[in-house]
Amino acid sequence: MKQKRAYKYRVYPTPEQQQILARTFGCCRFVYNWALRLKTDAYYNEQQRLYYKDVSERLTDLKKQDDYRWLSEISSVPLQQALRHLDKAFITFFEGRTPYPTFHKKRNKQSATYTSNAFVWRNGTITLAKMSDPLNIRWSRPLPDGAVPSSVTLSKDCANRYFISILVEEDIAHLDPTGKTVGADLGLKSFVVLSNGEVIGNPRFFHKDENKLAKAQRRHARKKKGSKNREKARLKVARVHARITDRRRDFSHKLSTRLIRENQTICVESLHVKNMGKNPKLSKAISDVGWSAFVSQLEYKAAWYGRNLVKIDKWYPSSKRCFDCGHVLDSLPLDVREWTCPECGAHHDRDINAAKNVHAVGLTVFNACGEAVRPGAVKTTSGKPRRSRKPSK
Ligand SMILES: [Zn+2]
């Protein structure tokens, strides 16, 4: 089965290309924010939901106005894609998976997406619309044989590094089936706790980096505003930040790949960001460790490699339920790390007990149906090809 997969590389644009990219990023950001304002206003003032098509038509009108001619100086494709990105942000918001979309800021990461009609792919090089020369890409690993990019996203992070993410379709072979299954829970003291008792990724893992970051931030704060030294210090902060993000992503990818390789079925608790915001402590912990990014990696890797990911409703009492006898506690404060069941006397580590419950209920759900039980509540992703039913004679 063909799967979409993104390959990311470092890019070294020429000064001229940097200028074109800077303008493109700026226009994309403008259009994104303009459309977000439009959608928000339409919703609040007229209780109306605007879709891509509506906003796209208004963009065409906007570009005709004299004050906005500069929007026509760059390729129109990334602007259309910015509208698509916003549409996606709204879809995940309405599904309760992400908070309400926010305005893009100049000082954050910048990006622009080009679909295949806005770049030329020739002899392993990529030339973007409005550019005369191909991009200087450092091919740290090869694209799969015969791959043809369907879209590319150029980005610039806060540390002034440029990247290209190339989307290709490729055949990914399923792994050999295994009988092993596992439950994974988001630990409070650690990143992931498995139902077999394994505890992975202590926050101290990143402690050194965080000390470095704090030091760089203090130095930055001491510099005079608007000075050259302050900009230098800002870049230093951004670089430490970038390294932390890179490391976490790397960690998350290695772990998700390992779990997918080792297990046929993986059960996790799904988190609803919407409800997480209510607990500031927890929401920080979650954003810090990037649980949702980790789960989405598990999700697409399960589909690639023919594994199953079972997501359990967050409202299932995984922490408060005794795995041994099924007794459910009335409450279990966040700071309680271990507890003893009043019913059967079993002593539990909070996170391991939760992971065991997630594992058990996940398997029950998966074996019972292998598909959604209640829409939006328990979702299972199965990489197994559907059995075709032959008509009985
Ligand atoms: Zn018990």
Q: How far is the CA of 324 from the centre of ligand 1 (A)?
A: 5
Q: pLDDT over 70 for what percent of the chain? A: 87
The Cα 76–Cα 130 span in angstroms is: 10
The Cα 187–Cα 197 span in angstroms is: 12
Contact 346, 271 (CB under 8 A): no
- Amino acid identity of 184? A
176 classed as catalytic: no
Q: So what's the pLDDT on residue 203?
A: 59
Q: So what's the pLDDT on residue 361?
A: 92
Low-confidence ranges of the chain (pLDDT < 50): 273-275, 277, 283, 371-393
The Cα 81–Cα 117 span in angstroms is: 12
Q: How far is the CA of 335 from the centre of ligand 1 (A)?
A: 20
* Beta-carbon count within 10 A of 357 CB: 25
269 classed as catalytic: yes
Q: So what's the pLDDT on residue 284?
A: 52
The Cα 105–Cα 103 span in angstroms is: 6
What's the half-sphere exposure (Cβ side, CA atoms, 13 Å) at 371? 1
Which DSSP state fits 97? S
**What global pTM score does this model have?**
0.76
Q: How far is the CA of 336 from the centre of ligand 1 (A)?
A: 17
369 by DSSP, 3-state: which?
coil
Q: How far is the CA of 312 from the centre of ligand 1 (A)?
A: 21
Q: So what's the pLDDT on residue 352?
A: 93
Q: So what's the pLDDT on residue 209?
A: 79
185 classed as catalytic: yes
Query: What is the torsional sign of CA 97, 103, 106, 107?
Result: negative
